[in-house]
A and B are shown apart, each in its own frame.
Chain A
Amino acid sequence: MINEENREMRDSMSKIETTSAASSGADIRKEVKPSSLASVAASHESKSKSREIRDGVGLEARGIHAWFGKKLVLEDISLDFAPGTVTALIGPSGCGKSTFIRILNRMHEFIPTAALAGDVLLGGKDIYGSGVDVTKIRLKIGMVFQKPNPFPSMTIRENVLSGLRLAQIKLSNEDELLESCLLRAGLWDEVKDRLNEYGGALSGGQQQRLCIARSLAVNPKVLLMDEPCSALDPGSTLRIEETIRELSESISIVIVTHNMQQAARVSDYTGFFLSDGGPGKLIEVGSTSEIFSTPKDQRTLDYVTGRFG
């Protein structure tokens, strides 16, 4: 399957090469047949277009610059995340995607020398504003990490509900919440009979879904996912992608991924990051089908067709 896609990509690439000598840039893009990724992206676009815009809270990044020490690693990133959408951030390693996503829920500041300019607006309010309670921000903007990291000293049940304990939220119907979070994360059927076992006993894919359930328990408005499937096998990846599609019915999701097929499968919008040795920049952002079929920037086209990266 993957081989087939690669062949198609190669075909479309050779087409670019043969025609580029004769035609102008705009013509090239017309002639390029949508790659298989583009068709994957287009196949679910009809669905997402038909969805009404849900009530929810949008997230906007405005003119984000980031430094580690003296080194500028992100330059002038502005990006909107509409409520109820999935946005994929793609780009080669070291282009600042992870740094950017960590800026969105203030995890950036844990790195000692990290600095930042610009605003991140959640529902119109700057999350870096003075007097903002950072713990409340992180409750509203949840995060799932690259490596599954359930708390090993807690049972499955305690893991899911750990956010309530950590943020000192009292709730009467914890069992209901437990079930609904595990259901939404697509893990309920697999663990409902062993909720009091330790979280570390689960498989990697199950652990990651446990982490998703855990982040859902505090009812976030936005869920950030930093390469959530990179440590998982294809079966678990598929399961988590289904979960992402289901979750996007109710919350906005931002997902960093190295897997372009994944970006094409799950996201409504895609942003392409690139660094030419200097700071990472947002080269292009658009609807996912557009990015994978008719991107406006040549570098995006090169990347999504597999020419580099």
Chain B
Amino acid sequence: MPKVLPEPREITTVPRISDRIFRGIVTTGGLSTLAILALIAFFLVFNGFEVIRDEGLRFLTGFDWMDAIPDEGIAATYGIGAMLYGTLVIGLLAIIFGVPIAVGAALFLSYYAPEWIKRPMVVVIDVMAAIPSVVFGLWGYFILMPHAEYWAKLIHKYLGFIPIFDMPAPAYSRSPFIAGLVLAIMIIPIVASISREVFAQTPPDRIQAAYALGATKWAMIKAVVFPYGIGGVIGGAMLGLGRALGETVAVYTVLNLVYDIRIEILLSAGGSVASMIVNKFGEADAIELRALMAAGFVLFVVTLIVNFIANAIINRTARRG
């Protein structure tokens, strides 16, 4: 006789009224963030879609940003290729300069710093995150730039044979290199504090196991702390990258916007979608404004993609940790 299995029972719980109210509040909160995000995306697409439709893929790849000149019969062309490229370059530079310093600071705070220096330093790093970006911009322009120009000259002198350090003209100020440095300093706090938090969660029994096998502190960090914390560090770096890609005012202050794709990072010519929007916004006519909205939408999508990639990396590495 075949065995007859019973149907699984339906298990229900009736929440109390207070619980239902609370559930309503948090559900509203959760859904409204999604709704706001969707509305912003809709707003950008709604305003920008004409330009995107007219320009097509050229909007992403084109270098020209010109208003129509009706008298001469020239139609408007809008392309953010150079700005998009420039955004990625300075974002990447910010990661390259900023993440090692941030991870170093996090390791120092977690494993090397004496107690008396630890607390003040954590506070200082948090304060750094609270400095308005325009201050970073001004500081970068007046204080950092003179030094950075000198460093750029040194890099060019000794590594000029590498194409990205080549200089067609001796214009070292307001380069992607300098913008990258300013952005690096701006993303250090967030990367450092996320890294420090994941490093601090490293299971102590693994740390002890490494020490008990005769590991030096550095060997222990390589064998235990990094494998455990790498997902968090990458996540922090991606959040930093998200901030760097969207950063507007500071970049606008220290970067010379040029509608051209140049691989020379030391040269005074760069691009940034966000800064371009600020640059053009004040004097834009109706059509150009739509183009700027479209540019904003592209920036929005790029940032979303970066975050998705970050999540994928974190999830993949976290599973083994």
Contacts and interface: CB of A to CB of B under 8 A. Distances in A.
A153 B228 contact: yes
Interface in A129-160: 135-139, 142-143, 145, 147, 149-154
Contact of B208 (A110, A153, A214): A110
A168 B208 contact: no
Contacts of A198: 320
A151 B222 CA distance: 12
Contact of B209 (A110, A139, A145, A167): A145
B92 to A, nearest CB: 27
19 contacts: A135-B214, A136-B214, A137-B214, A138-B212, A139-B214, A143-B212, A145-B209, A145-B212, A151-B224, A152-B321, A162-B210, A166-B210, A166-B213, A166-B215, A168-B219, A198-B320, A214-B209, A214-B213, A218-B213
Contacts of A110: 208, 211
Contacts of A218: 213-214
A153 B213 contact: no
Nearest to A217: B213
A107 B209 CA distance: 10
A34 B271 CA distance: 88
Give chain B's interface residue range (CB within 8 Å of chain A): 20 to 34
A138 B228 contact: no
B220 to A, nearest CB: 7
B171 to A, nearest CB: 47
Contacts of B220: 166
A151 B209 contact: yes
Given A107-B208, A198-B320, A151 B214 contact: no
Interface of B: 115, 203, 205-206, 208-216, 219-220, 223-224, 227-228, 320-321
Contacts of A147: 205
Nearest to B213: A163
Contacts of B320: 152-153, 198
B321 A138 contact: no
B223 to A, nearest CB: 6
Interface of A: 105, 107, 110, 112, 135-139, 142-143, 145, 147, 149-154, 162-163, 165-168, 198, 211, 214-215, 218
Nearest to A165: B223
**Nearest 4 pairs between A and B by C-beta?**
A153-B227, A139-B214, A166-B215, A163-B213
B214 A138 contact: yes
Given A151-B223, A151-B227, A167-B219, A162 B213 contact: yes
B311 to A, nearest CB: 20
Contacts of B203: 149
Given A151-B223, A151-B227, A153-B227, A166 B206 contact: no
Contact of A167 (B206, B215, B224): B215
A166 to B, nearest CB: 4
Contacts of B115: 112
Contacts of B224: 151
B213 A139 contact: yes
Given A153-B321, A198-B320, A166 B227 contact: no
B225 to A, nearest CB: 11
A145 B205 CA distance: 8
Contacts of B206: 149, 151-152
A152 B206 CA distance: 9
A114 B160 CA distance: 55
A215 B219 contact: no
Nearest to A224: B212
Nearest to A141: B212
Contacts of A150: 209
A298 to B, nearest CB: 37
B318 to A, nearest CB: 11
Given A110-B211, A135-B216, A166-B216, 4 more contacts: A149-B203, A149-B205, A153-B321, A165-B219
Max count, chain B CB within 10 A of own CB: residue among A136, A137, A142, A163: A163
A105 B215 CA distance: 13
B99 to A, nearest CB: 20
B118 to A, nearest CB: 12
B212 A215 contact: yes
Nearest to A159: B209
A145 B214 contact: no
Contacts of A139: 213-214
A26 B22 CA distance: 73
Nearest to A169: B214
Nearest to A136: B214
Nearest to B204: A110
Given A162-B223, A198-B320, A135 B209 contact: no
Contact of A166 (B205, B208, B214, B228): B214
